[in-house]
Amino acid sequence: MPPRRIRAPARPVNIELDGRTIVADADASIASALVGAGELLLARSPKFHRPRGPSCMRGGCDGCLMRVDGVPNVMTCQCTPREGAVVEQQNVTLSAKVDLLRATDWFFSKGMNHHEMFAGIPGAQHVMLAFARRISGLGELPDAASPPRPEGVPTIETDVLVVGGGAAGLATAVALRGRGARVVLCDDRHALGGALLAFPRGARVAAADAQGAARGGSVGDVEVDALLARSLEEVERAGVDVRLEATVIGVLEGDDWLFVHPRDGLVRVRARAHVVATGGHDPTPLFEGNDLPGVMSARAAGRLLRDGVLCGERIVVDGDGPHARAFALAARAEGAEVEVLERASVHSVSGLSRVRSVTVHDESGRATRRHCDALVFDGPVAPTFELAVQAGAATRHERFGYVVLADERGRVLPDPNPRDARPSPALFAIGEVAGAALDPTAFAARADALSAAVLEVVGVES
Ligand code: FES
């Protein structure tokens, strides 16, 4: 069964997908609306025209790139719809479902290296190169030139820039404001909440008190929606300068960081201290067919459920993280048939243009097949370390990725071999980017200690 909408949009707007009208929610993403209308196959990959669908719902994969209002390569999971928006599939010849060039994947099943193909054969290599260039690419050029951006790059001056509006970033921004610092909080999505927004409504998340956190264990749980509502209220009451859809893309020089905003373009933030609370990337599932539409992270499936969209009727869940548990519970409550794999692992996923079945191996290596519409995977996230490294942070490779190294108060340890001539002088990290498990209560306790340390560096009177 295709995915379906289980709750009517709170703020309905009409959008158009290849001539068909779809009712979307103005407060949720375009990708959610499309999946809710049964569309999992949103595009084709740039080179082999393999089917693509949303896998992360947070701007971390290429599964939802589409042409929106004549603009190619829009991450439809990251933007909200306007009334009358025109959405088109890209990289397709005919349609995403019946793409003539999907034959490319079959012809070149071992990969297409057009630089070497027919090398040395006069004329043939030239033809091959022209063919490969013709069928590859990310969509077509925009219908119209971009509207002129404001002249120059505006600068915002503040005491502290916090990057990331999840549980760790929100707690940090509030704690800093409570100590009198001016705070700019940037988040690349259209709403604050980060990984909390990847829990279905009504879900609960582990919570450790300070002692529990010190023991490395959880001592209870809290309701995500109540926690989120309280955090947002605190952020507003504290007067944090919140910038949504603001993607921090780089460190210019130690104090100056840049973000890009869809309307304002580039904006420079000059801060005396920086806190990286960028969370983590979804784990990469390692099995054949991991790029088929219908294979998605538990956080993506949870985001869809929060938006009122169920990703399938028969769902296999692989992994035992908090998002997988919360998703399985909520999806069952909505009537889906959900199997959570225990003592078995996914070997491969099959289907032509979306998931149709999953082959799993049990502990003895015996293979069995499950027919299903979706495979939802979960596991430890890989820290989103890239920005911190640009700013001169030291990292250590652990099993699931590079962890940003910080002392017990959150101050980042400097890279012993920095590539940047002038690393950020006051750099801090908190949350999953620094290797902690998602635990909002523990993050709040840590944010308090971190904000005191930040204030010692920037010298604002508490
Ligand atoms: S980038 Fe949109 S679903 Fe991954």
Give the pLDDT confidence score for residue 461 in this predicted structure: 58
CB of 373 within 8 A of CB of 312?
Answer: yes
CA distance 187 to 189: 6
Give the pLDDT confidence score for residue 421 in this predicted structure: 54
Which of 40, 55, 309 best tests ligand 1's pocket when mutated (most atoms within 8 Å of CB)?
Answer: 55
Using the mean position of ligand 1's atoms as its centre, give its distance from the Cα of residue 305 in Å. Answer: 16
Closest ligand 1 atom to the C-alpha of 54?
Answer: 3
* Mean pLDDT of the 143-148 span: 81
Using the mean position of ligand 1's atoms as its centre, give its distance from the Cα of residue 198 in Å. Answer: 13
CA distance 422 to 257: 12
CB of 365 within 8 A of CB of 266?
Answer: no
Q: Which of 241, 255, 257 is nearest to 177 (CA)?
A: 241
Give the closest residue (by CA) to ligand 1 atom 1.
59
Which of 32, 41, 64 best tests ligand 1's pocket when mutated (most atoms within 8 Å of CB)?
Answer: 64
* Mean pLDDT, the chain, whole residue set: 90
Residue, of 54 and 214, whose pLDDT is higher = 54
DSSP 3-state percent helix, strand, coil across the chain (nearest 5): 25, 30, 45
Closest ligand 1 atom to the C-alpha of 76?
Answer: 2
> Mapping DSSP to helix (H, G, I), strand (E, B) and coil, where does residue 210 land?
helix
Pocket of ligand 1 (CB under 6 A): 31, 54-57, 59-61, 63-64, 75, 77
pTM: 0.91
Least confident range of 116-130, 281-295, 407-421? 116-130
Residue 424 in tokens = 């950020």
Give the pLDDT confidence score for residue 129 in this predicted structure: 75
Residue 330 in tokens = 């909520």
Give yes or no for residue 429 having a pLDDT over 60.
yes
Closest ligand 1 atom to the C-alpha of 57?
Answer: 3
Which of 77, 90, 284, 376 best tests ligand 1's pocket when mutated (most atoms within 8 Å of CB)?
Answer: 77
Give the pLDDT confidence score for residue 114 in this predicted structure: 66
Using only C-alpha atoms, the chain has a radius of gyration, in whole angstroms, of 23
Query: Which tens digit of pLDDT belongs to each residue from 329-343?
Result: 999 999 999 999 998
Q: How far is CA 116 from CA 109, 120, 121, 129, 236, in A?
A: 16, 9, 11, 9, 58
Using the mean position of ligand 1's atoms as its centre, give its distance from the Cα of residue 284 in Å. Answer: 14
> Mapping DSSP to helix (H, G, I), strand (E, B) and coil, where does residue 9 land?
coil
Neighbour-count burial for 436-459, b at 16+ CB within 10 Å, e otherwise: bbbbbbbbbbbbbebbebbbeebe
CB of 181 within 8 A of CB of 460?
Answer: yes
Query: Which tens digit of pLDDT belongs to each residue from 176-185?
Result: 999 999 999 9
Using the mean position of ligand 1's atoms as its centre, give its distance from the Cα of residue 45 in Å. Answer: 13
Domains and CATH numbers, the chain: 4-135 (3.10.20.440), 155-281+381-458 (3.50.50.60), 295-377 (3.50.50.60)
> Mapping DSSP to helix (H, G, I), strand (E, B) and coil, where does residue 403 land?
strand
Length of the chain: 462
CA distance 435 to 303: 23
Query: Which tens digit of pLDDT belongs to each residue from 207-248?
Result: 765 444 444 444 567 899 999 999 999 999 999 999 999 999
Using the mean position of ligand 1's atoms as its centre, give its distance from the Cα of residue 309 in Å. Answer: 16
Least confident range of 43-57, 195-209, 381-395? 195-209
Using the mean position of ligand 1's atoms as its centre, give its distance from the Cα of residue 122 in Å. Answer: 42
SS3 string, 357-368, reads EEEEEECCCCEE
* Mean pLDDT of the 83-95 span: 87
